[in-house]
Amino acid sequence: MLTRLLATVALSIVALAATASLAAAGAVNPWRQSHPWNIAHQGGESEFPGNTMYAFKRSLKAGAEMLEVDIGVTKDKKVIIHHNTTVDSRTNGVGEVGSFTLRQIQKLDNAYWFWSGAGGVSYDHSKAASGYKFRGIATGKRKPPKGYKAADFRVSSLSELLKAFPKTPINLEIKGRTQAEGIDEYIQNARVLAGALKKVKRKDIIVVSFKQPAVDEFHKLAPKIAVAPGVDGMASFLLFGNSPGGGVVALQPPITYDYPGLGRIEVSSAAYIAAAHAAGYAWQNWFDGADPDAPVSWAKMVERCSDGIMSSRPIALERFLKSAKSPAACKKRP
């Protein structure tokens, strides 16, 4: 009951707050879509080795319009594309990302533990070796698939990613990269990323982090690059009608979220998405364990006019989106 009451109050406040929004300013948000974009989460980590060039190339070839990636910072302060705090679960190495130099981390096999066999795709370390079909390509022990190269299966740098996909919209998520993962670390990584993007003039990049201070720090240092809010910025907008933060062009929540003190809230409801659109923001959702990355969830997002769906299954999502029809109310607007 409390959650429903808060949601009802929040929506009315958000409607009033829209007067100071992008829409009120007369700006057209280029991230708004009449039919959801297929956004390849980690390049599609359930179908390809996550956060590899191979995954990015395959997902785009399958029809994805945008890439979602995670950034880490190496020992020598180079920005790389990698999801986890350590390299243990994805590569043939062991240790925290921040303990490697760029040169050292690029010697690792970033597809080493990607298992694809009967029953599914995962990073399970207990499977039969024959199921790890991409193992050894990065290190030259196995030939790459036709049209690809060994480097497509290693850890890539941010500069390599931007060079490889100069016209592909990219979402960059800032994370911490040691076991402590304190807020200071997120802020430091935000500073390194801002420095790396200082001379980049692209308008098709969004930077996000769960930690709002990291988003704020990045925006302060790189104000020309668009951002999406962290958890606090999202809550500030949806629950209290305040600004989600400077430079925000899109909100990026899961379908439901377990917010401290309020329980699990249906964040990607039709009402919340409509409120965000009215305020001039795009809506790009992702999935957590509570809501499956599958047709039952994709259909909800199409029906509710989400502007983008971040899926670990870009091939399957593309098939779904080609057959799904968005409501007339989802037509592109500021």
Residue range 135-189, pLDDT digits in tens: 999 999 999 999 999 999 999 999 999 999 999 999 999 988 666 768 999 999 9
Q: Which CATH number fits domain 2-85+156-330: 3.30.70.100, 3.40.50.720, 3.40.640.10, 3.20.20.190?
A: 3.20.20.190
Q: What is the pLDDT of residue 8?
A: 41
**For 121-135, what is the mean pLDDT?**
90
Predicted confidence at residue 9, as pLDDT, reads: 41
Report which of 197, 124, 191, 110 is spatially closest to residue 153, judged by C-alpha positions: 110
Q: Measured on CA atoms in the order 254, 258, 260, 262, is the torsion positive or negative?
A: positive
Q: What confidence tens digit (pLDDT) does each residue in 219-277 have?
A: 999 999 999 999 999 999 998 999 999 999 999 999 999 888 888 989 999 999 999 99
What is the Cα–Cα distance from 107 to 93, expressed in whole angstroms?
9
Q: Which tokens in the block code for residue 213?
A: 């201070």
Q: Is the dihedral of CA 22, 193, 252, 234 positive or negative?
A: negative
Q: In terms of Cα–Cα distance, which of 107, 86, 104 is closest to 95? A: 86
**How far is it, in rounded angstroms, from Cα 6 to Cα 225?**
32
**Residue 2: is its pLDDT beyond 60?**
no
Domains of the chain: which residue ranges? 2-85+156-330
The pLDDT-based confidence of 331 (bands split at 50, 70, 90) is confident
Strands 250-251 and 256-259: unpaired
- Average pLDDT on 299-313 reads 98
- 276, 299 contact by CB (below 8 A): no
- pLDDT, residue 14, reads 44
Mean pLDDT, rounded, for 98-106 = 97
User: Of the candidates 307, 308, 296, which has an alpha carbon nearest to the alpha carbon of residue 39?
Assistant: 308
Q: What is the DSSP letter of 18?
A: G
CA 331 from chain centre, in angstroms, equals: 24
What does DSSP assign to residue 156? Answer: P
| pLDDT given at position 179 | 66
Among residues of the chain, what percentage have pLDDT more than 70? Answer: 89
The helix/strand/coil state of 160 is helix
Beta strand spans in 109-243 (E): 115-117, 120-122, 170-174, 205-209, 226-227
Q: Is the pTM of this model over 0.75?
A: yes
Over pLDDT 90: what percentage of the chain? 79
What is d(CA 75, CA 111) in angstroms, rounded to the nearest whole number?
22
**Residues contacting 276, CB < 8 A, separation 6+:** 14, 237, 251, 282, 283
Q: Report, as an integer, the average pLDDT of 77-93.
A: 95
* Mean pLDDT, all residues of the chain: 90
